[in-house]
Amino acid sequence: MSEKCSSSNKGVFNAVVSWNRQIGQRFYRLGLEFSGAAANAFAGFKPGQFVQIDVSGAAVPPAERIPEDLGDAAQREILLRRPFSFANVTAEREKTLAELLYCVVGPATVRMTTLSRGNLVSVIGPLGNGFWVPEGKKTALLVVGGMGAPPLEHLAKTLTADRADIQMTAFAGAKTTKQLPFEGRLDKISQQLGFSLGEFAKYGVKSMVATDDGSAGFAGTVTDCLTQWFDSRTDLARDSAIIYACGPEAMLARVAEIAKEKAIHCQVSMERRMACGIGVCQSCAVECRVEGSSETVYKLCCGDGPVFDSREVVFSA
């Protein structure tokens, strides 16, 4: 992971649904199993890469299982695939297992709730460029905003396995406790030891929770929590530290500002609406700076990203 990660093995594959588990009011985790050529293609899936999933054939759930605000939207025809990052990838001898997190926010994700064990799902991937580790890094700060958790959970697993010399701390934020996309916080003793979230604790990664309304953990934004952490770490070797972030663009912009203020390398996973995910539609443009110039260019989130060096991105005001 010392260089920017992309994949030359992308293709259209079928995955078998292993499980589909509800973990919150609107949050679900979906398990997928790849075999044959698909298993080989996804065995090397890198944290921060993504897939395009076709759920047009999934059933519409019964009316009582559809959130009231999505009653009309749930009946719409699904024309386009939807992009997702994986929260976990496990390559076994003859198969590769993957896990994704999704939130029910529209007609496609409403239908995803009806997927069950044995169902087939068409997946395009692996797509895009994932996170990478520049030389000399010893401290990694993983900053999650809302639904930005999956690629950073996957990164925590990968760094734990491949880079035991890197110390990690995760920061996860949302507006309220109910909007944290995790299966629950750990017991008080674990929290006192710095392990708030099981999704990171299972890799030995300490974590901090922030909620805007103060209903859990730090009272304030996750970026305020990050700033406070920096203020308490005056001995941090900044040239050997790196921030990895995924979440809403306003949060990413603030994380990029903090990284610039602290002179710390930062990578951000950007999000755009993607009609195709393979660079044909050109709908996922990200404005980027040209090094050594005042000019900017537009790069594609699907092909050049979704992970970018934060110094490169021109964030929306």
Model confidence pLDDT, tens digit, residues 83-94: 999 999 999 989
At what angle are helices 222-231 and 249-262 packed, to 10 degrees?
10
Report pLDDT digits (tens) over 155-175: 999 999 999 999 999 999 999
The pLDDT score that the predictor gives to residue 275 is 84
Residues of the chain with CATH 3.40.50.80: 139-269
CATH 3.30.70.890 fits 139-269, yes or no: no
CATH code of domain 11-127 = 2.40.30.10
pLDDT confidence tier of residue 212, bands split at 50, 70 and 90: very high
> Average of pLDDT values for 117-130?
97
The pLDDT score that the predictor gives to residue 1 is 65
Residues of the chain with CATH 2.40.30.10: 11-127
Q: What is the pTM of this model?
A: 0.94
> Average of pLDDT values for 49-68?
95
The pLDDT score that the predictor gives to residue 123 is 97
pLDDT at 295 over 70: yes
